[in-house]
């Protein structure tokens, strides 16, 4: 049986997308350096969780599907 090391990253995220992505990348690198083979991020980590309410102001957060 093979062992798989998993890291699950969770924190509160700010409205600064660039900083959130950089922080996530930093944590991914740290987790990998500590032996994580599977690294899980929250589904929405670029900003605070905004799905509690439907507001047009949040529509700009969407990414195009290619």
Q: Residue 14: its pLDDT value, please?
A: 84
In sign, the C-alpha dihedral spanning 11, 15, 17, 18 is negative
What's the pTM?
0.73
Looking at the predicted structure, is the pLDDT value of residue 7 above 80? yes
Q: Annotate 2-14 with three-state secondary structure.
A: CCCCEEECCCCCC
Q: Residue 5: its pLDDT value, please?
A: 96
Q: Residue holding tokens 């991914």?
A: 28
User: What is the distance between the alpha carbons of residues 9 and 44, in angstroms, rounded to a whole number?
Assistant: 12
Mean pLDDT value across the chain: 86
Q: Where are the domains of the chain?
A: 6-61
Contacts of 17 (CB under 8 A, 6+ apart): 46, 47
Looking at the predicted structure, is the pLDDT value of residue 52 above 80? no
């Amino acid at each position: 049986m093979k062992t798989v090391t998993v890291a699950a990253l969770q924190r509160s995220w700010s409205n600064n997308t660039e900083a959130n992505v950089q922080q996530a990348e930093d944590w991914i690198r740290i987790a990998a350096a500590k032996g994580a083979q599977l690294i899980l991020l929250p589904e929405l980590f670029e900003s605070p969780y905004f799905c509690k309410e439907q507001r047009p102001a949040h529509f700009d957060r969407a990414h195009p599907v290619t």
